[in-house]
Amino acid sequence: MNPSPRTTGTALDDAAELFRQAKRVVVLTGAGISTPSGIPDFRSEGTGLWSRDEPLEVASLNTFRTHPERFFKWFRPLAGQIFNAQPNAAHLAVAELERAGLARSVVTQNIDGLHQKAGSKRVIELHGTLQTLSCTRCFEKFDSRGFIQSFIDEGTIPRCPECAAILKPDVILFGEQLPQTAWFEAQRESRSCDLMVVAGSSLEVLPVAGLPMQAVDRGAHLIVVNNSPTYITVRADVVIMDDVASILPEIVKRALHG
């Protein structure tokens, strides 16, 4: 896939040059980086998950506690899409940046683990992960792979092998706070970077949406690659409104190979 005609070579070259000049790069990713891998986002009109379901009714902590079967019924097809997904060119490009020493960390809003599958090592997951489950009674943590296939295939709600209580996916539901350690780490990274790259995020969900502003206010450069405008577009050095799976690999190619 190639960049569309509306994406100028100048913007790609400018982004690549910012990478070459930077010493502390942080990549902030959202749902848009995983949609090319077949995982739906939440807010796109007509196709996003919240265009079909009311989030507080299916994906809140209250729903999980009071009607867990309702949550799991909604979550089952999404879980299947996530576990069957493979990294796309954008994930691979981010991992290549890290291997080349150009990216220090990836801060992601995604729960799909595709950055890790692509080879990224330092991934800060602000909205949790589907790779593990925690018992709601004894709080033991388990690898999802021991439970997920029967859940996807048969709808079997995962239960703790120790106490038989329901296992909760380690994802952040509505009504839950962000994981404190990850949030503090993401803020430290944002405040100390000299270049932040926003890839595939509309920056509509607080408090994560405030991270680029924390970076820019402390003198960092900013690159935004997203299909739609964001609130911080006016503060960015480079803005490319196009498909992240084609644009990000092209920027990385130019940054690493000229």
- 202-233 confidence digits (pLDDT tens): 999 889 999 999 999 999 999 999 999 999 99
Q: Per residue in 51-109, pLDDT tens? A: 455 665 778 999 999 999 999 999 999 999 999 999 999 999 999 999 999 999 999 99
| Identity of the amino acid at 240 | I
Question: Which residue in 91, 115, 127, 221 is the catalytic one?
Answer: 127
- pTM of full prediction above 0.85: yes
Contact at 8 Å (CB) between 37 and 88?
Answer: yes
Q: Is residue 2 part of a domain?
A: no
Residues 99, 110 within the same domain: yes
Residues 136, 258 within the same domain: no
Token pair belonging to 140: 């033991």
Mean pLDDT (the chain, rounded) = 91
Residues 243, 160 within the same domain: no
Q: Per residue in 144-180, pLDDT tens? A: 998 989 999 999 999 999 999 999 999 999 999 999 9
Contact at 8 Å (CB) between 78 and 48?
Answer: no
Q: Is residue 32 part of a domain?
A: yes
- Residue 139 has phi, psi (to 5 degrees) of 70, 15
Is residue 257 annotated as part of the catalytic site, yes or no? no
Q: Give the single-character DSSP code of 111.
A: -
Range of the domain at 164: 45-84+129-171
Residues 185, 153 within the same domain: no
CATH code of residue 211: 3.40.50.1220
